[in-house]
Structure 1
Amino acid sequence: MESFTCKRCNTEARDGAQCSVCHGRFDFPCSGITESGYRKLGDRKSTWKCPSCKGTASPSVVHGKPGSAKSPVLTDIDNIALDIKRLATQMSALPALMSSIKAIQTDIADLRSVKTDMADLKLLKPELEAVKVSILQQRFQQLESSLHDFDQRSRMNNIEIKGVPVSSTEKLFEIVAKIGRHIGCPIPKEQINYIARIPIRNDKHSKNILLSVQNRYIKEDFVAASKKYSITPTDLGIQGDTRIFINDHLTRQNKMLLTKAKSLARERGFAYVWVKGCKIFVRKSPTSHALNIISEADLRKIA
């Protein structure tokens, strides 16, 4: 399948959806529709619209005095409607997941029923039993992959801040505000959904800061701006000599995949490994193509 550049995240992808209005091509994480959902559209693919074109509504016009003209603006109701549409798009994967779970439950019940009847079990050919087990394993793997993708999508607006010393008197909103001023990319308090300390695996004494903002673009700008600076606690008026890192909030599985990609990239002479939009990329040189690492199978691309 011919690769293309996603219109939203501007990265190379192997498969995705094409908008019938703006004719842009999007990878599935940016399209707002799952791969299975898009396949099920059939002939309706020709009328599919990307979130931007689908969410476009006729803005209400604010009228002033006669003779005066003001630019159209979206009302609060329009903004709420757009947010609901985006949420509905993100939740579109749930029916497919529930259907897969029910199918697996049915297969498990059938398998248990067969095993309880020893007479029938003796008549069952080993080849058929092996095929059934193989199908069940494939369905579990597909479900596990779908659940992981949904988990990562739910973190698209999250920022993970590592290296800020824990204090009993700390104020997390102030810490984020100081970081924003230091990197020249402040986040208004009203744009923050929640902020909290989260435990680190295998480290009982340290906790990262998890920050959730209202949209992924605020998150991406904040993370990108932080990469231009080497931030330490003293830059924030806090005692400590550790370095502070600001990253996308990856799942544990993707964090392990990122570690493996970095290690292999060093061995094979790849100059760049980075994360954007919760997706892992590698590039051998400034002029080579960026490679998207989605699973361990993709690590073979690093050669």
Structure 2
Amino acid sequence: MYTCASCGSLHSEGTICSACKQHYDFSCSGVTEAGYRKLGDRKNTWKCPKCKSGSSQSGALSPQPSQLDRMQDQLNKIMLQLATFASVAEDVKIIKRDVGSLKESVEMAHERLNSFCDKVNAIEAQVVEVQKVAEEVPVLKEEINKLKQELRDRDQWARANNVEIRGIPLKKNENLYEIINRITSLCNFSVRKEDINYIARIPTRSAASEKPIVVSLNNRYTKDEFVALARKNKELNLLNLGFGTAGSFYVNDHLTQFNKELLRRAKSLAKENNFQYVWVKYCKIMVRRTDSSPIIFIKSEKDLQKIT
């Protein structure tokens, strides 16, 4: 342990003056412990504040000891403040460096934020366009449905003069005109060759079913009368037609595939919901719950919802 030459306190570590060889604690020496350690070899030349100020010289002009003590205290305080300022200055450098890094980070974040804002603005513009398109979708769907219905109506209209006959067995070297002539004779109805545009068997989706016969007449009213008489005739069967086998055949309007499927579904729904009548006239599908109920025309899948 050492006794401080200035304040008299005991201390284990402190400074040693190279001039007077006195021991001082760090508080009285005017230097911090860290600052003293940084001196390295210069510790051997370190002088206390008294030796630095030449207070060891004697003379008539030398200040009084009390004054020297006060001056020493002031110097000690100044040295302590300077030591503190040195530490603060180092801290300021570190803070300045950190602030510079923070500034760079902020500028980079600002650039990224601007880029992000640009992307958000672009996305918002795209969303506005998508919303406009979305608003147009129902209108476009309605237009498409109208066009589809027009095409279906035209397709059905092209078959307005056609009669479709199902259930006639296919024979080798058959004469379709003779078959049609026998059918019209059974119906007490006359159709000349010049009244017929063409007669042909048409393929079906099911390979196992008989190919129906389609008769295209030149006059729609002739076709409507033929179909109406055939539906009323109770003698239309394969035996009376000369096939030698029992069985029925059917004379109907020539519906498109879409309308055939629509008719099938209409019949199924009518049965489920107790509708008494489902029929086709002038290539139009109609349903009716009772004799006094209004007629419902089925032209699209949406119309099927009316059969409830």
Q: TM-score, normalised by structure 2?
A: 0.55
Higher Cα radius of gyration: 2
The counterpart of 2:148, out of the listed 131, 144, 166, is: 144
The counterpart of 2:298, out of the listed 270, 275, 293, is: 293
> Is the aligned partner of 1:249 residue 2:254?
yes
Q: Which amino acid aligns with 1:186?
A: S
The residue that corresponds to 1:124 in the other structure is: 126
> Is the aligned partner of 1:198 residue 2:202?
yes
Q: Distance in 2 between matches of 1:263 and 1:134?
A: 30
The residue that corresponds to 2:84 in the other structure is: none
Q: Contact 1:233–1:242 at 8 Å: present in 2 too?
A: yes
> Is the aligned partner of 1:163 residue 2:152?
no
> Is the aligned partner of 1:236 residue 2:241?
yes
Cα distance 1:240–1:121, how it changes in 2: closer, same or farther (>3 A)? farther
Q: Distance in 2 between matches of 1:202 and 1:254?
A: 17
Shift of 1:136: 3.9
Residue ranges of structure 1 left out of the alignment (5+ in a row): 1-119
The residue that corresponds to 2:270 in the other structure is: 265
Count residues in correspondence: 185
Cα distance 1:121–1:250, how it changes in 2: closer, same or farther (>3 A)? farther
Q: Contact 1:232–1:240 at 8 Å: present in 2 too?
A: no
Cα distance 1:139–1:298, how it changes in 2: closer, same or farther (>3 A)? closer
Shift of 1:122: 8.3
The residue that corresponds to 1:221 in the other structure is: 225
Q: Distance in 1 between matches of 2:172 and 2:145?
A: 43
Higher helix share: 2
The residue that corresponds to 1:277 in the other structure is: 282
Secondary structure at 1:160's aligned position in 2? Answer: strand
Shift of 1:301: 2.6
Q: TM-score, normalised by structure 1?
A: 0.56
Cα distance 1:129–1:167, how it changes in 2: closer, same or farther (>3 A)? same
Q: Distance in 2 between matches of 1:271 and 1:132?
A: 42
Cα distance 1:287–1:122, how it changes in 2: closer, same or farther (>3 A)? closer
Q: Distance in 2 between matches of 1:121 and 1:137?
A: 26
Shift of 1:139: 3.2
Q: Distance in 2 between matches of 1:134 and 1:284?
A: 33
